[in-house]
Structures are given as structure tokens and as C-alpha cells.
Amino acid sequence: MSELHAKNSILRSGPERLLDAAGVSVDRMPMLHVIFDRMAAQCSENLRQLSAAPAFFSVDAIGTKRIGDVLDAYEGNVVIGIFHVQAWDSRILIGLDHNFVFALAEALFGGDGGETPTAEKRQLSNLEIRLAQKTFELLGNALQGSFATVCDTQFKLERVETRLDFAVIAPRNTFGVNAKIKLRILGRSNEMFVLIPQTALNSVRQHLGRDLSADMSVRDPRWTKQIKTEIGRTEVAVRGVIEERQFVLADIASLKVGQVFALQATTKTRVKLECNAQSLFWCNLGQADGVYVLRIDEFMNQQQEFIDDVLSH
């Protein structure tokens, strides 16, 4: 195994090793945002089936940080789940702060959030650690399902640690992808995190660099044809206007049944074809098979018609 790692290290390109040393920005791996958003949505759905209290997971931030700096920020206030990812030949961490576990325990055992959260710091009880272990299993399954679009791999929970000294997955000065996720439950906001060593993502970095917005821009010819067909079936109403005349209210009030209006139009007067109060074409009026017909003469020039209407007044 050591010979294999040495060989892989030699085969890695110089630019790739430079990127690892400096830390690759998550902006170069846009699929990570999609993956963690899916994980949060799946966790929310799973927790709703276990707790009567409304629960909502949301991604707070995703960034690249040194592994040691991430762990130091949670010193003495976190329980860690260590997962082995066989396809990556690496391990990742999922951490829950103590308030996360306290709130989850209260909600699952019927609490309504009416009691004030305890302010004193204490270690987790055996029951709370077992609850954290079950939570890690749910989170690992959600993360595994979210990564399925990138790679088919398994996230296996190896052990649960309450001391950071034993939560070693890579040298502390190396970079890792750190995703902070918030849990809103019982009116409180609690925090968890996912920490993946950057080297673990080397094998799938190309897939993580996919831009879904670019993928969405590729047209599906069948879907395009279907839309075009359905739009073409839309029914619209049009009307032909021979002449328009302005009236005042007194003229309308004086109208009587049988009264005849004398039009200024002649047989050569063009008819305006409208749809939804929008002028479309100029047409010529005629007859065919005993009915009136319109023959389209030219498109309506909206700008010119507006100018002519202004000048006529």
C-alpha cells in the first residue's frame, strides 16, 4: 500500500501539487454547492419523519481551510463522526456541536423548546453520544446519496470521538473543504460541519468542476419540439377593424335602435388586423364563397403608426 501511495505521488502533476499546497477554491468545484444543498434537503426530510417539531437544515458556508484551524474552533464543544470513504481511500469528518445534540435530543424526546437551554458546559452523556451516532448514520447516508451524481461510493461510519486528539484524518496543516450547516429546530439555530481533506477529492475534482448552469443551456431537441407544438396549438382571437371613430359620452347616450352610421371607408380602405389590442397587419377586404375575407397586405409599422397618429391630431 505504501508503494502505491508513493507511485501516485510521483505521477501527480506539478500544478496539481501546487494547488493542493495552496488550497483549491470551492469556486473551482461548483458541484460541491449542489451536493451540500441536496444533503441539507435530505437531512430535513429525514428529521421530519423522526420529530414532531419542525426542523430545517441549511448550508451556511462552504470554504477551504486548514484542517487544524477548523478543528481548533470547536475544541471541547463537539462530537466527531469519522467516516471511511473506500473509493477515495480516505476519511472525512462530520462534527456536531454540543448544542446541536442537546436540541436534537430535546426535540426527539417530545420537548417543545419552552425550557431555556442550559448555559453550563458539560460533557455529553452516554445516551446523547448514542443519539449522535444514530445522527451520524443518517447524515452519512444523506451525504452518500448527494455524492451519487458525482461518484458511486460508500460513506461508512467507523467510530465516534469526543476528543479532537483522536479525530485525525490528515496532517493539521493541510487544506480541506469545510461545509458549515445550520439546523433550525425548537426556535434555535445549531451548527454542524463536514470536513473533507482536499486530497480526498482529487479523483473526483474534474466531476466537481462541472457547471450545471452550462449543462442546462444545452437544448433537448425533443423537449424543444414539444414546447413548439404546444405553443402552436394555443388558440387566439383576432379582429378586423375597418374604421375607428371617437365619441363623447353624450353621443353614446343619444344612440337609438335602428340608427345608421355612415362610414368613411370605401372598398379600397385597408382593414387593420388586431390581436389582444395589438395591431399586427394591414389587410385588404374582399369576398369569397359568400363571406367576407381579409388578405394580408403588409406588417404594421408600430413606430410609424404612432407618429402618424400624433401628427394627425
Domain with residue 260: its CATH number is 2.30.330.10
- So what's the pLDDT on residue 307? 57
Indicate whether 226 belongs to any domain.
no
User: What element of type H or E holds 201?
Assistant: none
Among 36, 62, 42, smallest CA distance to 138 is for 42
Q: How many domains does the chain have?
A: 2
User: In the beta sheet, which residues pair with residue 83?
Assistant: 92, 157
- So what's the pLDDT on residue 37? 92
Give this prediction's pTM: 0.60
- So what's the pLDDT on residue 303? 60
Residue 60 near residue 191 (C-beta atoms within 8 A): yes
Amino acid at 231: I
The CA-atom distances, in angstroms, between 308 and each of 32, 150, 270, 279, 301 are 59, 62, 16, 14, 10
Residue 197 near residue 25 (C-beta atoms within 8 A): no
Q: What angle do CA 183, 176, 154 make, to 5 degrees?
A: 70
Range of the domain at 279: 236-312
Decide which of 189, 220, 251 is a domain's last residue: 220
Indicate the length of the chain as a whole number.
313
Same domain? 60 vs 199: yes
DSSP state of 123: P
Sort strands 90-97 and 78-85 into parallel, antiparallel or unpaired: antiparallel
First to last CA, the chain: 91
Indicate whether 228 belongs to any domain.
no
Amino acid at 208: L
Same domain? 75 vs 118: yes
For residue 137, count other CB atoms closer than 10 A to its CB.
Answer: 15
Q: Is 165 exposed, middle or buried (0-12, 13-18, 19+ CB in 10 A)?
A: exposed
- CA dist 153 and 212 (Å) reads 21
Same domain? 182 vs 280: no
φ, ψ for residue 96, nearest 5 deg: -120, 125
- So what's the pLDDT on residue 144? 92
Low-confidence ranges of the chain (pLDDT < 70): 1-24, 117-119, 211-220, 302-313
Same domain? 124 vs 201: yes
- So what's the pLDDT on residue 83? 96
